[in-house]
Amino acid sequence: MARAFWFRRDLRLQDNIALNRAIEGALQDGDARVFPMYALDASVFENLEGIRQHSLAASLEALDSDLGGTLEVVSAEDLDNLAQKFAAAVAAQGISIVHATRAFDPLGVREQNAIGLALRDHGSFLQLDDSYYVIPPGTVMKDDGSPYRVYTPFFKNWTQLAAARPAVMVQGGDFVKLATAELPKPSKSAPFRVVAGEKYALRTLSRFRKRALDRYDELRDRADLSGTSHLSHALAHGEIHPRTVLAQLSDSPAHTIFRKEIAWREFYADVLWHNPHTLTEYYDPKFARMRYDEGAIADERLKAWQQGRTGFPMVDAGMRQLLQTGWMHNRVRMIVASFLVKDLHLEWQLGAEWFERNLSDFDPASNAHGWQWTAGCGTDASPYFRIFNPISQGQKFDPTGDYVRRYVPELAHIQGAAVHEPWLLIDGLAHGYPAPIVDHSAERQESLARLAELKKP
């Protein structure tokens, strides 16, 4: 009997264990047909910013092309209707088993529960295998059986287990289109044409190996250089599995640091699996009691941060990079996040929501816990009192000033690292760049005072 495969955040053919199960199952049943499907919540898609709509559409288009034009996108206005429509389409073909990769994040779990139940009601079965990770969340535990709260011991344990080799695609499957539904069309524009898909992801990995992998330990924090892999979009959409990435690494210092970054993604997925509420709530609940700013001035400051008009060049370059490219350098993500929480005294969730709307590599676990880590309310040893100075961070991680000049044209006339303090120059603010909206030293003191309030009984 034919099988169906539900593509989710695993938009690829190679190293896809759940897809292999579908093909093997169909072959064992003496019917090589596999119906590739995708479930799209149309209202969620409509609410995405242009860059995110285009990145998903480009990934699906590439996958459809790799599948010989057989991808069936089932679309409905909300999850319940989507699940019913999906299950009805499967039942209409007499398919009894739908295969998929198991999700571990709260929304992914909700989706697979809804679709699994609807399939059951229609007489079919959802078989879940593998995960978006090298080690499924919930697997790496302390000796006493409890989950890790700190990254370094998690990594030590994870690295012992993370030896799985990439899975080669099982041959002999015959991909067949279920009906004739069209691929989703973005309703909003994107700042550039997004290129995506499995082949592009593999090319990105291979270019990174030649360009920067061997110097990753030295270059990864430099915002003005291209020292990182730019694989985050591909990993977030599952155009490449992290097993495939790890298989390219040796034990050299640079490769080991890169492996550790892949493990951060796995750590945050594990933390979110054990603490699903931390997608939107404080991991350390005491920070929910902190004094945060609200009202008209806070709203204005949030808007200035979102649009890259805070008057702090490194912050503004990062926020404009996000709007122009759908991506931001990791070091700069930390700088802008620290600025929002500790200079503007706004809650981390406001920043995380903005990132979610605009990041083409949006990942629920990495985003929520990247924010909480920087805000000082998350896992690991990143105490709240560690407050990033946006000026010295700029001088250190954009020492040429090229990063700021690339994204902030009003500062293009300033040479070198002087671009990080334009207010010191006679003509620094002459081309429309704003003066700083807050005084960093004063806000730092204010943050520490608010932290002290939390410690009072």
Give me the residues that bind ligand FAD (CB under 6 A), please: 220, 228-232, 235-236, 261-262, 264-265, 268, 330, 333-334, 337, 355, 359, 361-363, 366-367, 370-371, 374
Nearer to ligand FAD, 86 or 264 (CB): 264
Nearer to ligand FAD, 333 or 342 (CB): 333
CB within 8 Å of 421: residues ≥ 6 apart = 391, 428
CB within 8 Å of 40: residues ≥ 6 apart = 73, 74, 75, 76, 82, 184
Q: Nearest distance from residue 233's CB to ligand FAD, in Å?
A: 8
Nearer to ligand FAD, 36 or 197 (CB): 197
Please provide the size of the chain in residues. 457
CB within 8 Å of 251: residues ≥ 6 apart = none
Nearest to 411 by CA among 297, 309, 323: 309
Q: Nearest distance from residue 359's CB to ligand FAD, in Å?
A: 5
- Sign of the Cα torsion 64, 362, 54, 210 reads negative
Nearer to ligand FAD, 177 or 211 (CB): 211
Phi first, then psi: give them for residue 74, nearest 5 degrees: -95, 125
Nearer to ligand FAD, 35 or 354 (CB): 354
Cα separation of the two ends of the chain: 66
Residue nearest to ligand FAD (CB): 370
Nearer to ligand FAD, 118 or 262 (CB): 262
The DSSP secondary-structure symbol of 182 reads: P
Q: CA-to-CA distance for 27 and 299, rounded, in angstroms?
A: 58
Q: Nearest distance from residue 56's CB to ligand FAD, in Å?
A: 14
Q: Nearest distance from residue 60's CB to ligand FAD, in Å?
A: 19
Nearer to ligand FAD, 55 or 229 (CB): 229
Task: Kindly compute the dihedral angle of the four CA atoms of residues 163, 166, 168, 174, in this order, to the nearest 10 degrees.
Answer: 120
Three-class DSSP category at 6:
strand
